[in-house]
Amino acid sequence: MYFVRRLIFAIPLLLVISALAFALVHLAPGGPFDRERAPASPEIERNLRAAYHLDEPVWKQYLRYLDGLARGDFGPSLKYRSHTVNDIIAQGLPVSMLLGALAFGFAMGVGLPVGFFTAARRGRWEDFAGSFFAILAVCIPGFVLAPLLILVFAIKWRLLPVALWGGPEHMILPAVSLGLYYAGKVARLMREGMLSAIQSEFITAARAKGLAEAALLFKHAVRLAVLPVVSFSGPMLADMLTGSFVIENIFQIPGIGVFLVNGALNRDYTVVVGLSLLYAMLLVGLNLIVDFAYTLLDPRVKYE
**By the criterion CB under 8 A, which residues form the site for another protein?**
13, 16-17, 21, 24-25, 27-30, 135-136, 138-141, 143-144, 147-148, 150-151, 155-156, 162, 238, 242-243, 245-246, 249-250, 260-261, 264-265, 267, 272, 275-276, 279-280, 283-284, 287
Shortest Cβ 196–another protein spacing (Å): 10
Look up residue 107 and give its amino acid.
Answer: A
Q: Which residues pair with 76 in a beta bridge?
A: 84
Q: In the complex with another protein, which residue's Cβ is closer, 92 or 217?
A: 92
Q: In the complex with another protein, which residue's Cβ is closer, 7 or 135?
A: 135
Shortest Cβ 207–another protein spacing (Å): 25
Q: Rounding to the nearest 10 degrees, give the CA dihedral for residues 139, 145, 148, 153.
A: 130
Shortest Cβ 155–another protein spacing (Å): 6
Q: Which residues, other chains included, contact 161 with Cβ-Cβ below 8 Å and sequence gap of 6+?
A: 154, 169, 170
Q: In the complex with another protein, which residue's Cβ is closer, 71 or 156?
A: 156
H or E element: which one contains 205? helix 201-208
Q: In the complex with another protein, which residue's Cβ is closer, 35 or 64?
A: 35
In b/e form, how buried is each residue of 186-207, taking b as 16+ CB within 10 angstroms?
bbbbbbebbbebbeeeebeebe
Q: In the complex with another protein, which residue's Cβ is closer, 95 or 275?
A: 275
CB 92 within 8 A of CB 259: yes
Nearest partner of 118 among 61, 192, 173, judged by Cα = 192
Look up residue 41 and give its amino acid.
Answer: S
Shortest Cβ 43–another protein spacing (Å): 25
Shortest Cβ 151–another protein spacing (Å): 6
Q: In the complex with another protein, which residue's Cβ is closer, 136 or 212?
A: 136
Residue 227: burial class (beta carbons within 10 Å; 0-12, 13-18, 19+): middle
What ranges make up the beta strands (E) of the chain?
none
Shortest Cβ 293–another protein spacing (Å): 18
Nearest partner of 221 among 197, 189, 199, judged by Cα = 197
Shortest Cβ 30–another protein spacing (Å): 5
Q: In the complex with another protein, which residue's Cβ is closer, 98 or 162?
A: 162
- Measured between alpha carbons, how far is 242 from 96 in angstroms, rounded to an integer? 9
